[in-house]
Homo-oligomer: A and B are copies of this chain.
Amino acid sequence: VAAPKRVNRDDLISTALAVADREGLDAVTIRRVAQYHDVTPMALYRHFRDKEGIFDAVIERLLGRVPLPVRDERPWYAQMHDLLSGLVTTLSPHPNAAPLVFSRILTTTPGLDITERTLALLCDSGMPVDQAAETASQTLSSLVALVIAEPGRGGGPEPDEADIEARKAALLALPEDRYPHLVAAADSFSHGASQEVYYRRGVDLIVSGMREAHRPQDLITG
């Protein structure tokens, strides 16, 4: 006879994440995850309320891996940079799962912790809470977008070298009179620089924007 307890919740979450990573979000199916564990689809309903519940658990696990650095005496923006870098570093290996994060930042315990910390740092900077809430929300969402849009990824399943070359070729084939910059930058759009540089610049972009957000006057519209 087999073991009484056939499936374990944590293992189910792991395979759901693994399937998302390898084959995209659409491939994550109750029936498929069940099959990986040699179990009937219905068995999963003992562990999750429904399919959304599986996704909730996946994101809860991912966000739970984001380190909350100990507070120190450095300026708020330096600490913010560390926090946000931790977020992108944690999410970047799982771009297919990243879209699930948007709706779960405020519904998941580790998501609330990350938001609270972001809020605290912004308030330390002197920003009023209301604006800080808006900025925190925009910031965290933008970082998720960075992971989704990482160069060399179409948004679907794992792209191989051929896909990347095809993308590059498509850009290079564009009419150069209409898209001069795009053609010139075809290389950067397809593979881009290193992941590390991409994410450092992305976090810098956001944190720099935050630092400017204190001056209420409209500096931008010329």
Contacts and interface: CB of A to CB of B under 8 A. Distances in A.
Interface of A: 74-75, 77-79, 81-82, 99, 102-103, 105-107, 112, 115-116, 119-120, 123, 129-135, 137-142, 144-146, 148-149, 151, 154-156, 167, 170-171, 174, 178-182, 184-185, 187-189, 192-193, 197-198, 201-202, 204-213, 218-222
**Helix, strand, loop or mixed for chain A's interface?**
helix
Given A116-B179, A138-B201, A188 B130 contact: yes
Nearest to A179: B116
Contacts of A75: 222
A105 B105 CA distance: 25
B188 A148 contact: no
B182 A134 contact: no
A197 B216 CA distance: 12
